[in-house]
Amino acid sequence: MENYLNSKVAEYSFLLDWLESEIKGLQTRNASHPLIIKCLQDKLGELRQLHNKLRIIGCLGSDKLVARAIPIIHDMEYQIIILTYYYIPGLERENADDIFIRDLVSSVKARCGLSWVEDILVRLDSHHAIFPAIPEIPVIFAPPQHTACTLDMAAIYHELGHDVFQRFKEIGDDLAATVYLYFFNLRQSASTMAPEKRKARDSTIKNALEYWNTERLNEIFSDIYAAYVCGPAYYFSSVDFVIRLGRNPFAITVTDVHPPWAGRVYACHNILVPSHKSDEAIRWIEKIWNAYTANQQKNADFDMFCPTALVDQLVDISIQNIQRLLPAAQRYSAPLQDFVAKEGDFPAESLEKVLNDRIKMLHKDPGRCAEWEKKAVEMFKKPTREP
């Protein structure tokens, strides 16, 4: 083990020197992200401190101390992954399109209550995802077509929800407590039944409780958050995504960190304000969703694992946490209005407003989609647009 430790000390010595060189190069070439560069320099300083501890343990040669070196190696590896998988490649490849979407996402921060976010690094080279290991400067991944159209752009609000969940650990704790209490009460409410049936039922309840781990609570909270700040546009985006990809909304897949889509879509609809739920465009989306789900086979465990009563509680607790922890977050409640003008420019509106206007356009006049998308993107590229 001692030889292995010394080999890691030598490897990390070379790697940290390379990281220092890369960060210095980025500092010279990329002036758009001084806060990120400063953060990377701080991370490098932490890595050098850990490396020095590793070197000292290797020099002492004590078996007891060598055992303490393994957690240091684990910590160093994680910090190196943060730098080399996400931030350095993102800064290296950043282009004008990435910066455009970064500025667009940054424009929604205040309305979404993200007061702690100091900078955002966007990478238009993947499906929607976020790396929120440093909540103050998250890395957001998105598909490159966002520079040309607003299709699926509502999903960005879901990714921002992950940053909220990462920032406030109490959200996960509150949701986990809600799930535990729900299934505890369900177990206690069982009527008298044969021991064999009671044992089988308790086993299913136990599996359902374990199913709702932190990762799945993170996902459904991010849906709820996105529907809260983005409104019907995120609800429609979720329905559209499921249908386009041919997903079974009732599937319970233990290898997937996402809850079943039927529960997620239900949560998104649940959170809409009454005026949105009664709008003809939302009723149109509901009919589409109901027609699609009617032809899907329901998983035998769905009603136990993802009951509407539990989702209702998760929505309520999530809203309470959003309003308590993010008091500046604005719930989207603006009326869904038709975009009447067929000539001229878009008015300078928020991203949420444009995404919700898009629903009306698709419902009433889908033939205008190409023209509409072009004008929407042009409007956001104007330097005079409102934040």
* DSSP character string of 114-159: -TT----EEE-SSSSEEE-SSTTS-EEE--GGGGT--TTTTHHHHH
The rounded distance, in Å, linking the Cα atoms of 74 and 251 is 35
The rounded distance, in Å, linking the Cα atoms of 171 and 173 is 5
- Do 160 and 81 share a structural domain? no
- Do 195 and 275 share a structural domain? yes
Please check whether residue 135 lies inside any domain of the structure: no
From 47, 73, 93, the end of a domain falls on 93
The rounded distance, in Å, linking the Cα atoms of 8 and 12 is 6
Which pLDDT score is estimated for 351? 94
- Do 189 and 83 share a structural domain? no
Which pLDDT score is estimated for 65? 76
Please check whether residue 132 lies inside any domain of the structure: no
Please check whether residue 194 lies inside any domain of the structure: yes
Which residue has tokens 């702690």? 116
Q: How many structural domains is the chain composed of?
A: 2
The rounded distance, in Å, linking the Cα atoms of 49 and 46 is 5
- Do 257 and 172 share a structural domain? yes
Walk across the sheet containing 139-141 and list its strands: 121-123, 139-141, 129-131
Collapsing DSSP to helix, strand or coil, 5 comes out as: helix
- Do 304 and 160 share a structural domain? yes
From 296, 325, 354, the end of a domain falls on 325
Please check whether residue 350 lies inside any domain of the structure: no
The closest of 228, 223, 231 to 337, measured between CA atoms, is 231
Question: Could you read off the pLDDT tens digit of each residue along the chain, which spans 387 residues?
Answer: 668 888 999 999 999 999 999 999 999 988 889 999 999 999 999 999 999 999 998 888 777 777 889 999 999 999 999 999 999 999 999 999 999 999 999 999 999 999 999 999 999 999 999 999 999 999 999 999 999 999 999 999 999 999 999 999 999 999 999 999 999 999 887 666 777 888 888 899 999 999 999 999 999 999 999 999 999 999 999 999 999 999 999 999 999 999 999 999 999 999 999 999 999 999 999 999 999 999 999 988 999 999 999 999 999 999 999 999 999 999 999 998 765 544 455 666 799 999 999 999 999 889 989 988 998 898 888 764 444
Backbone dihedral angles phi then psi of residue 251, each to the nearest 5 degrees: -70, 130
Please check whether residue 299 lies inside any domain of the structure: yes
- Do 319 and 201 share a structural domain? yes
The rounded distance, in Å, linking the Cα atoms of 98 and 101 is 5
- Do 175 and 61 share a structural domain? no
| Cα-Cα end-to-end distance for the chain | 56
Q: Which residues contact 117 (CB under 8 A, 6 or more apart)?
A: 109, 135, 136, 137, 138, 163
Domain that holds residue 275: 156-325
- Do 164 and 294 share a structural domain? yes
The closest of 85, 81, 95, 97 to 30, measured between CA atoms, is 95
- Do 85 and 215 share a structural domain? no
- Do 242 and 164 share a structural domain? yes
The rounded distance, in Å, linking the Cα atoms of 154 and 172 is 23
- Do 295 and 184 share a structural domain? yes
Which pLDDT score is estimated for 341? 47
Collapsing DSSP to helix, strand or coil, 109 comes out as: coil
H-helix segments, the chain: 2-29, 34-60, 63-81, 88-93, 96-106, 155-167, 169-188, 195-211, 214-230, 232-245, 261-270, 274-277, 280-293, 302-305, 308-325, 351-364, 369-381
From 73, 93, 113, the end of a domain falls on 93
**Residue 117 structure tokens:** 């976010």
- Do 253 and 170 share a structural domain? yes
pTM: 0.93
